[in-house]
Each structure stands twice: as C-alpha cells, then as structure tokens.
Amino acid sequence: MKKIFITTIFVLLATFLASAQQHPEDKGYNYVRDISYVSEYETDAYRKERCVLDVYYPETDKGFATLVWFHGGGLEVGNKELLDGFRRQGFAVVSVNYRLFPRCKCPDYIDDAAAALAWTFDNIERFGGTKDQIYVSGHSAGGYLTLMLALAKEYTSKYGLDADRIAKAYPVSGQTVTHYTIRKERGLPDGIPVIDEYAPMSHAGRGGAPMILICGDRSLEMLARYEENAHLQSLLKHFGHDSVLYEMQGFDHGTVIAPAQSMISADIRRLWKQYSETR
C-alpha cells in the first residue's frame, strides 16, 4: 500500500485547469453523445433510455488509448460525465450511463456496464482508437462496477469479451464488499458488510487486468471504504495480482476524484507511450 501527499500547489493547479476548460467540444477533439450500446431490438424502454454512452476522442490521432468511465451515485442516481481532468489528454473517453435502482435490480447495472465495455472493444477502432489500449475506471458506484468488470469475468464473457483484455483498471473509492444498495434491496441492515458473488473481493483469486486501487484518506472516507480496499489489495497481493493501493491523504470520498483524475491520466499516457514504442 502507498500513501500520496498532495500539495497545496497541486490542488491550486488542478482548480485552475478545471476552470480553464469549460467547453466540452475542445479544439482537436470530437464529442459524440448518446450512442446506444444495446441491441436495436431491445424492448425494455428503461434500458433503451439509460443504456447510452458518449465518446470523446482525438480528431486526427490514430491508435489512441481509451478510458471507459462509469459515474458514481450509489447505483441509484447519476449520469454520464466528461471530467475536466480527462479532457485533452491524448486519449479517448467513453462515459457511460447504466440502469439505476430501484427501476432495476441487481445485477442489471453490472450487466449494463459489461455491455458498454464490450461495445467499446467492438467499436473504438471506428473512431481511430485501438482495442489493445482500453482502460476502465469509475468513482464510488462506478469504482464498484470497474472492480466487478475486471474481476468477475462472467459479465463480460456474456458479450464475448475476455475481461483480461482490459489494459488496466482504476477503481476510485469503490466498494469491494457487496454494494450497500444491493444490501438495501435485500432489506439488510445498513453498514453491516456482506461478501457474496456480488462482492469484488470474492473474485480476487481469479486473475484479471492490472489494477490501481485509489481511495480517499481513511479518516475522511465513507464508512470502512479504505479498509475494504486494503482488504482487497491484501487478497490480490496473495494471489499475485498486479495491483497497488493508493490512499490520497487529505481527500474525502467526493474530493478524491480530483487527484485520481491526474494519476489515472498520467498512467494511461505512460502506458500508451510504452505500447506505441513497441509497435
């Protein structure tokens, strides 16, 4: 496990960059919105409404990397988003909507996330990207979905995708036990952990993509969120999984997303450079 001490200068710089990037259609990038990632023959009206994604990608570059991003909101609220820290970074961003509780039940949102990821592998070359460099990330509930896609391979295999093809996963403050909304759906007590087939850590021994787990300060995070991630990291380490955990000191569950964007963007650029130099 590692700790990151973010300086005041970094925070001020991140704030400046965010305020300087107000227009989503940045020069040199295309931004295509509300693309359906489910079958044209889908009959579920709610799934047709929610299962759309946006693709933000370099206009002229070819063979670029792609980050698939899942929003947070406790599996109950939220919408796809293009975060400032992922704009104009040289890679594409696929931001995804998925069905939400209570209008859907577990594991519908996991299935939607798998369908969106498979869609990206099947279609990113049409936009100029390479399917060899597809990364997955998300914050909070999106971090939970990221973990399930990377570790519970049956969800992506349903769509003909081997989850091990994910270049790297970056779950940010994701639950590693069974998500609290799933527990709520079952009428279980709040705060009491459950580890079953919907707990990412129950799949830790099954291999998967390299992973950076990112979490806020343990004293500021949501209940046991850091401890859950530390537990998962211990299991991943035991099974020889290529993974590391970063604790962002001084950041809570919401604000951790800012330094996480910087870390993820830098790592994707580094890995894409390594990849392009060996082609």
Give residue limits of the domains in the chain.
2-18+28-278
In 3D space, the residue among 198, 129, 199, 195 whose CA is nearest the CA of residue 167 turns out to be: 129
Strand partners, 183: none
Which SS3 state, helix, strand or coil, does residue 92 take?
strand
Q: Give me the percent of the chain exceeding a pLDDT of 70.
A: 91
Q: Which amino acid is at 78?
A: G
d(C-alpha 12, C-alpha 257), whole Å: 15
What is 2-18+28-278's CATH superfamily?
Alpha/Beta hydrolase fold, catalytic domain (3.40.50.1820)
Exposure string over 104-133, b if 16+ CB within 10 A, otherwise e: bebbbbbbbbbbbbbbbbebbeebbbbeeb
Model confidence band, residue 1 (pLDDT cutoffs 50, 70, 90):
low
Model confidence band, residue 60 (pLDDT cutoffs 50, 70, 90):
confident
Predicted pLDDT at 25: 63
Site of tokens 């209570």: 102
CA-CA-CA-CA dihedral for 103, 154, 190, 77, to nearest 10: -40
